[in-house]
Structure 1
Amino acid sequence: MTRNLIGRRGVLQLAGAALATPMLARSLWAQQKYVCKIAHSEAIGSPFTNAFDKWTKILNERSEGRIDAQHFPASQLGGLAQLLEMSRIGTIQVTAAGPDSEEAIAPEIAATAGAPGFIYKNEAHVDRVLQGDIGKEISQIAREKTGVEFIAYGEVGFRHLLTKEPVTDLASLQGVKLRVPEVRIWVDFWKLLGANPTPLPYSEQYSALSTGVIDGLDSDYFSVLGFKWHEQAKHILPTYHWFLPKAIRMNAAWLDALPDDLQDLCRTSAREVFEEQRTINRAGADKALDELKAVGCVVHPFPAAEKAKWEDKTASLYETFGATSPATAEMIAKIRALA
């Protein structure tokens, strides 16, 4: 009798354990935390950094703590080149950079960063390119070739010249030492215009201006304010020569390892936040320029006739850059066809 009772109890206990095991596994799975380090080089206080602040909060709250998102702006974890490599290998999970940062690996992606200057006609043209089929295509290419997924696109907007001495036309641009990122097409662009392009990490621009390593740089107005470059250079030429979209780059292996609902959260919330960022960025550009004027910057006119000269000087880059690969030439043609 006792033996039968023990046997029945044992069976019941085993059955209970079997039923409990899946529930326990689900509970442990639900409590698992996924650390998401978000690091980039954008200035504190810029619309772009503010968007990352908001997205970090959304990831933490909507995941109910399953994602532990941590935000490191303004090159706190390294310069742009370091952050790009860290995002590829998974040391960090997210960074942001222009698609041109993949030029060496996927030159057709680089074309969508505004290569080779003046390719984007206006902001509506940018949206037709990146928020449509081309944006999806380059995200897939990035996944296959670099190990990151472009889960959304933000922007810092059109770039302009900031220099220590006035630059108002091609003649006054000759020989001016301009900081450029360590990307070939940026170097080629300024060489064609007669400047002296000087590749430097993003985080070194203030000190390079103060020591005379460079005479100026090109940037959006928000970054000039945020990094206080206007303390070292006071002359602005509103060239609108380059529109810089920013891909929100998430390590693909980390993303794939998430449960399906968290993968969806990462993608949909990023698109939501950076759609808002683009709207805020565009509305605030004129205000940022007014703030720069208020702190002593001088804005020089850039007539349409002068801009046309710059466009003519750099037009050969469409063919040069397109020669990188058939896919690159095709991508440039697609972008121009949407203008």
Structure 2
Amino acid sequence: MTLHKVPAFGRRSFLATGAAALAMPALATRGLAQQTFTCRIAHTEGIGTPITNAFDAWTAMLNERSGGRIEAQHFPAAQLGGLAEALEGSRIGTIQATTAGPDSEEAIAPEIAALGGAPGFIYKNEAHVDAVLQGDLGKKASEIAREKTGVEFVAYGETGFRHILAKRPVHSLAELAGLKIRVPQLRIWVDFWTLLGAAPTPLPYSEQYSALSTGIIDAIDSDVFSIEGFRFHEQAKHLTMTGHWFLPKAVRVNAAWLDSLPEDLQDVVRSSAQEAFEEQRRVNRALADQTLETLKTNGVEVFVLPADELAQMETATAPLFDQFGSVSPETAEMIAAIRALG
């Protein structure tokens, strides 16, 4: 965990306020009338990625539009811990905001997990994603998250469609056999890659680079921005474009903290998040092809998996819709509602 010194300005202000309180009680009372609320924003997204840039923008919006009543602090790139720590922190309120795919709620609220792309191939294109997340289903997911996990989804960003980055070429479904591919520590991801014949290896996100370097894994699946941002391409040079999984990113705010704010500041949090991440989605889509070209110049071989091979992957993993939906009637209904919008 990165330790941050208290800024010198903050220390001076504290000492000055203490002196003023002793000398001028009336002035100190007026100064204390404006309560401030700390908002620690922590996540695992890479420096320079569109989603981290959006969090930078949101942090600035919160500080400015609240008139200083919200003190927003941004800790990207796992500075305060990995995904598990960020999720738990957002639930219990040790951090106030983070981001993760809705599939991270698989154990607590599996019907929400379906919005996170679970199981794979549930989203057909970006228009389908928007119809789901920016509509009634996205609002419903936020309500369920509040009830079951203690967080509110105030906005949705995205990292985009995920592809396979491997240390050896993967040009067909058959070449996935035995491939040691890193997956999140979630059952649905393990089941997905098992059905494709790979050897899924659950690891924390922060361990992917070193695991590729040491041979613990042969591959990861990732969006192109994370491949560049975390420099995974230094350890694996073969990118197979599959688009098998679209990963939205729910902007998760601790509900108890949000409810503790005055009503006008609650509005600031929600409206600024929606504004920042609407722009994030636009930028993410506009820059995807440019980032792919950058990877090529860095020596990455890019292979577009043929349509018939993609169809075989989709067919092989199709049983997961029924398997995942069997968890609860609500999950089955959510999966059906998402697919109907595609």
The alignment's TM-score, normalised by the length of structure 1, stands at 0.92
What residue in structure 1 maps to residue 182 of structure 2? 179
Query: What is the SS of the residue equivalent to 1:31?
Result: coil
Distance 2:310 2:195 in 1: 14
1:170-226 superposed Cα distances (whole Å, 9 cap, x missing partner): 111100000000111111000000000001011110000000010010000000000
Contact map agreement 1:37 1:69 (CA 8 A) in 2: yes
Kindly indicate whether residue 133 of structure 2 is the aligned counterpart of residue 130 of structure 1: yes
What residue in structure 2 maps to residue 44 of structure 1? 47
* 1:295 to 1:32, Cα distance in 2 relative to 1, 3 A: same
Contact map agreement 2:242 2:304 (CA 8 A) in 1: no
Identity %: 70
What residue in structure 2 maps to residue 104 of structure 1? 107
Kindly indicate whether residue 220 of structure 2 is the aligned counterpart of residue 191 of structure 1: no
* 1:300 to 1:260, Cα distance in 2 relative to 1, 3 A: same
**1:64 offset after TM fit, Å?**
1.1
Contact map agreement 1:147 1:251 (CA 8 A) in 2: yes
- For residues 83-122 of structure 1, the aligned pairs below 5 Å read 83-122=86-125
What residue in structure 1 maps to residue 270 of structure 2? 267
* 1:188 to 1:58, Cα distance in 2 relative to 1, 3 A: same
1:134-174 superposed Cα distances (whole Å, 9 cap, x missing partner): 00000000000000000000000000000000111111110
Choose which of 217, 225, 228 in structure 1 pairs with 2:220: 217
Query: What is the SS of the residue equivalent to 2:312?
Result: helix
Query: What is the SS of the residue equivalent to 2:304?
Result: coil
Distance 1:323 1:211 in 2: 38
Query: What is the SS of the residue equivalent to 2:81?
Result: coil
Query: What is the SS of the residue equivalent to 2:138?
Result: helix
Q: Which residue type is aligned with residue 205 of structure 2?
A: Y
Choose which of 160, 166, 170 in structure 2 pairs with 1:167: 170
Contact map agreement 1:30 1:66 (CA 8 A) in 2: no
The alignment's TM-score, normalised by the length of structure 2, stands at 0.91
Distance 2:324 2:30 in 1: 53
Kindly indicate whether residue 74 of structure 2 is the aligned counterpart of residue 77 of structure 1: no
**1:28 offset after TM fit, Å?**
5.6
* 1:292 to 1:147, Cα distance in 2 relative to 1, 3 A: same
* 1:206 to 1:163, Cα distance in 2 relative to 1, 3 A: same
RMSD: 1.4
Q: Which residue type is aligned with residue 91 of structure 1?
A: T
Q: Which residue type is aligned with residue 66 of structure 2?
A: S
Distance 1:191 1:47 in 2: 31
Choose which of 251, 254, 276 in structure 1 pairs with 2:254: 251
What residue in structure 1 maps to residue 206 of structure 2? 203
**1:301 offset after TM fit, Å?**
2.7
Distance 1:134 1:29 in 2: 42
Distance 1:301 1:42 in 2: 25
Distance 2:112 2:321 in 1: 14
1:121-143 superposed Cα distances (whole Å, 9 cap, x missing partner): 00000000000000000000000
1:214-262 superposed Cα distances (whole Å, 9 cap, x missing partner): 0010000000000000000000000000000000000000000000000
Distance 1:52 1:114 in 2: 22
Query: What is the SS of the residue equivalent to 2:189?
Result: helix
How many residues align? The count is 317
What residue in structure 1 maps to residue 61 of structure 2? 58
Structure 2 residues without counterparts, runs of 5 or longer: 1-25
Contact map agreement 1:236 1:298 (CA 8 A) in 2: yes
**1:24 offset after TM fit, Å?**
9.5
What residue in structure 2 maps to residue 10 of structure 1? none
Distance 2:244 2:59 in 1: 32
Point out 4+ residue stretches in structure 1 off by more than 6 angstroms: 23-26
Query: What is the SS of the residue equivalent to 1:76?
Result: coil
What residue in structure 1 maps to residue 232 of structure 2? 229
